[in-house]
Each structure stands twice: as C-alpha cells, then as structure tokens.
Structure 1
Amino acid sequence: MANILIAGGGIGGLAAALGLAGRGHRVTVLERREEFTELGAGIQLGPNAFHALDLLGVGAQVRDRAVYIDELRLMDGTTDEPIASMPLTCDYRTRFGNPYAVVQRCDVYEPLLEGCRRHPRIELRGGRSVVGYEQRGQGSGEVTAVLADGERLTGAALIGADGIRSAVRRQLVGDGEPRISGHTIYRTVVPVEQVPQELRWNTVTLWAGPKWHFVHYPIGGGAFLNLAATRDDGTQVAVVGRPAEREHVLATFPELGETARRLLELGRDWKSWVLCDRDPVDVWTDGRVALLGDAAHPMLQYAAQGACQALEDAVVLAESLDCCEDTVVQRLEKYSAARRERTARTQLVAREIGRRLYHPAGELARERNALLTSLSAEEMYDEVAWLHGADFV
C-alpha cells in the first residue's frame, strides 16, 4: 500500500487519515500549528455526517458527546412569531437512519484525533506548514510536499485538506483569495445556568429578519448555549475571530423582537468573522494531488454542512484509494468525479438559503412564510433528503 501525505490536521484531514489508514495505507498528517487542536464553537451534524463517522470508526464516540435536538425552528426575528419547524425525532431518524445533532467542534475533532493517535499507520506532525508541491510527471510514482522551512516530504499522493486559504489549492486551482460574502457573524457561548429556564429550548432556533438572522442551540452536552448572529452589512474586508464589544453586537441588531433580544443579551465575550466561500470548481486533482473539505469546496454556514461534507469526502476518498500505487492518479480522479456535483450543489444552496430563507424582507419574506407553512413534516424531509441522506457512498 501507499504512503500518503495530508496537508492539514483539521476535521477533514484527520478523517481522511483514518479512512486511508483503514484501507492499509501509511499516512503522514502535516499540520501548520504546533499542536493538533480545533478552535471554534458549535456545529450541526446531519445524519450524513453520522453515517460517515460510523464508517470511519468514531461514530459512537461523537454520539456520546452530542446533543440530540427535537426540531429545527424558524422564527420571525422581529415579531417573535413562529414561521415553520421541522421535527427531528422519531420519523426523521427512521427516514434517514441517523439523528440530527449539535456539538462543539472539539466533540468531533477529539475522537478523530484519538483515533489517529492510536493507529499504527498514522503519523501526526505538528509545526509543518505545506506551502506547495512538486511532481515530475504522473509516471514518476510520487509527489513531494514542500514545507515552509524548506523540508521536502515525498509520498504516493498528497491530499490538500488545508482549509479555505489552502496553499495546495492555490497551486492546483490558482483562483486567488476567497470570495467575501459581505456577511459579518458574531459568535459566543453562554453557560446554560445563565439562561432563563423558559428559554432553554432543545432546538436549533433561527430568528430571521431583513438582511440578518440569529441562531442558537445547546452544545457541550447541554452545558452551554451557542449563539451566532449574522448581519448582511456588505463588508468586503476579511475578518477572522476579532473581539467584538457586547454593546456593538446589540446595536447591530436593533430590530430583534423581545424574546430574541433576551437571548442575544446573554452573550458577553463576542468574536466576529466575515464569512467567505468560493465558487465551485471542476478541477480538484493534479496528478497525484487532490483537494478535500474547505480546500475543495468552502461554503457558507447556512446549510450547516461544512464539516459534514468534509467527512463525506474522507469516506469517498478512502474508498476510491482502495488500490495499489500505480493507479493512484486514476483513483484520485474517480474521487473528484464522485464528489464535485454534490458539493457544488451544497455550496450554491448554502448561498441561496441565506438570501431566500434567512434574510428576505417585505413581500419576499411573506412568500417565504407562505411556502414553508404549506409544507408538512414529510414534505420537509423530502426537500432535504438529497443532503441528509446517506447515499453519498
């Protein structure tokens, strides 16, 4: 079996390492940070994510940490009136074969990391930033990862799982900086004991308003409430994790209704990001190099599928590379072909969800409300079946 290099030790990179090692390959994960850690607060996991986690051998560990919510709930953020909800309990789980849950990012990352650390065919190397790669042609049988300090490591394949500003993608695709969405998101986490009892809902609740929305849900086994408020403010300057004053956050959402404002006011240590993504591309491979996760298909958070799609990538990549070294190039092309259409659709749907479901005003908002209220639970399941189902493998 082959020696495979992975640039990036996030959720996607570790998932790929587990999947590939499970197929008999030796894997070296190269992470730019000295320590293998995962930053960030809450994420949502659809049934498709749990299906992938099960295939990677860590589904049980993630389930032990997850919060299984009762419904996805859309509210009018200015009037406090309900718009629609999608139940996520018995019928939903029967339909899709797995639950829908919310977790802290570390609740996914740490089981993957522990699985990699235990696996005899996986080597984790921190402080190794991949800045590019070299190939002498597809017939050479190898690719070389070039590190920031000048070190060169050679393997049968290189997987670029190094995020939205991927150095591997920069060389492979060359499409410049990410697309700035013009949406600023403010995030914080609140201990649940600070949340009034009547507001401790076991739901993902989204309050929608004109050019803004506010979402919250429990994480950390129910010990915390994750808050995220987004404003379509047109900004075109990238921001990553900048501290934001509480007064500024509250002033950014003056139209919030009474209940939503009570929840927003619970936040203290806010940080802000300007959301970015990229347009879908048809080319994910270059000989023995392929992209995965945000390096391949970075998307806005509005479909709650970024981590889910990276986990799917890892499973399909491992299945595609169940082979010997002399077919790696063809197998990577097979992986890319299997994933491009689905992930491109998810990227574009995520953009549309922000525009058409979360941020419309006036007549467009009334049309949204009429459409959603006309759907039964089963019809809602039909709408998300292509995304939440397990038929990606």
Structure 2
Amino acid sequence: MLTTDKKIFGRKIEATSLLEKGWDIQHPRDCPRVVLLHGPPGSGKRTLLELISRQLWEEPGAYPAALFSNLHFKYPGRVETAARILLESGISPRFPQVRPTFPKLPAPEAIRGSRPLPPLYQQAEFASLPEQEPTGSHGYESLTRHFLDGLLPWVKSIPLPVPAARFRIIFLLADFDQFPAAFQTWVGTSLARALNQNVELPPQVYLLSGMESWEEGKQADPWMLPPAAFTQSPIQPLGREACAEWLMACGRPVENADHLLEETDGMPGRIAELLNGSFTPDISTEDTTDNWDRLSARQRRWLHAAALLEPVSLEGLSVILGRTEGSSAFDWLYRKAALPGLSAFPLDGQSRISITEQARRQIIERSGQKVPILHQSFKERARLHAEVRRKVPAADARARLRQLVALQPFVVSTIQEILPPHE
C-alpha cells in the first residue's frame, strides 16, 4: 500500500505558504486569522493539513505554536463530545478516538528550553472539566471557560527562545463543512471570541478544510470577523513533476506521468487508488454495490448525488455539488459510466441520465452507511432543490432566481418571499 508520505509530493511549498498566512498578522483587527483550504474529495486537503501538522512539530523555531486538531479522530456523533475531544486532542490521551500521529504540543526540550513544564492536561484547572455532557450554549461556554483556565497558565509559563510575537495558537480542522452547524457555530463564536478577547493569549489561527469556497458575504457567519481576517485558498491538483515523483517512488516508469496526470486530473486520492490497482475508470459488472469500492472517491460522490435526484440533471448536480463539480459529474455520468442501472441518452436535444430504482436504493444505502454526515447534507440539498423545482417550474426562472439569492441551494423561505406560490 502507498504511504501517506507519497501524497505530499508537490505539497511542501503549498504547506509553507498556508503557514505563512497564519503567521503574517500585521494588525490586531486581522485576528483571529481564518484560512479555508477548499477542494473536491480526493484532492489532498487532509494530507496537506497533516503535512502542516508535521511541519509545526519539526520546525518549532520557525512556527512556535500550541496545536489542536481533529485530524486523528472521527466525529463521534454528538456536538458536545466533538467539542471536548477537539479541546483535549493536543493535550490529553484520555480519548481512544485520538490517534496522535504527530505530537500536538511542542515538547519541553524543543521550545521551552531546559526547564520542563507539566503537560496541559495535568493542570488542575483543565483537569476539572465537567464529566457530564454539556448541552446548549451554556454547555459550550462552560467548555470554553475550562479550556481557558488550563490554557492561560500554560502559555504564560513558556520561556520562548523566539520573539513572543511569533507564537500562535493553531486549530487544524479538517472537513469543517461536514460537521454540524452547531459545532461550526461553537468554534466560530464561543471558542474563537473567548480566545481572541483575552489579551494574555497569543493570536489564534484556524486552518480549515472544506469542499467548497465560502460564497461572498457568508464568511461572517458564524465567525463575525472582518474580511481582512479571512483567506481562501483552493487546493491545486498535482502537476506532472509530482506525478513523476510518485511513479518513481512506486517503482513505475516515470514516462507514464502524462498518462497518470490525464487519468487522475492530478488528484492525490485517485493517484493512490490507481497505483494501488483499486481504481477502474469504466466498470460493467452485475451489481452496483460490487463496483462501489472500485470507483474513485470523487466518482462515488457523484453517484451519491445523482441517486438523490429525480430526474438527474446538470442543475440538480450543481446544487448538490457546486457548479464546477456538478458539471464534471454530469459529464462523467453521461459519457463514461458503465454501471448497471445507469443509462444516458439524448432527448429533446438535451442529454438525459436515468438511474433504476434498484441501483438508486443500493447507492443511497451504501452512501448512508459510509458517509452519514455527508449523506444528510446531500439529502437536504436535494430536498430543497426539489421544492424549488415544484414552486418555480421554469428553468429560466430558476436561473434568474440564482442571481437574486446568494445561498446554494436556495432557501425555500426566501423563494416564497420573492415569488408567488405556483398553482
């Protein structure tokens, strides 16, 4: 199997660039700094955040930081539990969900000089975290308060060998858009505001990853920060040189770099699957579920979205996946897919895609099991799209509506305010 290290080909410069954005804080109004790394599944967002985590650990002189991360645990189901695990991820081994591939807090000898300090989780203040699950905003405030009680004395005790102005508190939050809205709101309001308002703490940096960019005007919710504090960075596909490095590391002919790049679009996840022999572009066996694991993550995502739409359309896929990825998904479904239960044909001068009910059920069932959080998000977007089509049957009217309503998919209450009900 390929190691994670192979996926960092062509990413080191990108990781350094993102780190520099977190440390390049010129004015207090820019704090906390929020950097969003966005791109489709399989583009290497998590790997890039892991590389940043490693770089923070290996270069404490250049990037001194207290690091908290959700890279090494899976979302446990409850928002409150996720909050607790995040806050203790860098400082306590108590939770079995935490698998620290890279240490989260700088070691005493690495950054604090010769005088060792006790780990943060051993501080009496932090050890007093309530055992009961918090509920609602009061519970979140309690979590944040206890977290501050432990973090403050720890930060004050660090004799930094570098200028204190360089020290940061870093949160690496992978797949941030897949967490429930309540968790996102807690991070962007209770936690971020409490840390930022405490003058005794160093600046905070939130490096987030997500599938889509923030639409203009939406970044203020829930962070409520000035635009200067936000940076968006689309993750770039790997180039030919990185593909050649990957082939060489796997003992494959580097002459195939151009073909590898064309077949995978430079997506690290697809490169890994292809070189592991688990990726097949066109498949034609008897059962849709038998083919599922042989598809790339991106293709599974496209089928997932298509199965929730009736009819399958470019418009619907664009609502669920975003305009750019929706177009790519429709093109692949129409031209390349050879899965049982899926057919493509021209009708009335337009390209049509059809999915049988059996295939639809199989895809939805598998998606619900494998990616339950994403499945719920896709279902809600598909439901809203169906409601919009019912109320606004004309495609050109829906196109005009997109120019009036910034949110994708459209909020039905807003539609009702703009247009009269369709009889």
In the superposition, the TM-score normalised over structure 1's length comes to 0.26
**Over alpha carbons, which structure has the higher Rg?**
2
Structure with the bigger percentage of strand: 1
- TM-score when normalising by structure 2: 0.24
Instruction: Determine which structure has the larger helix proportion and give its number.
Output: 2
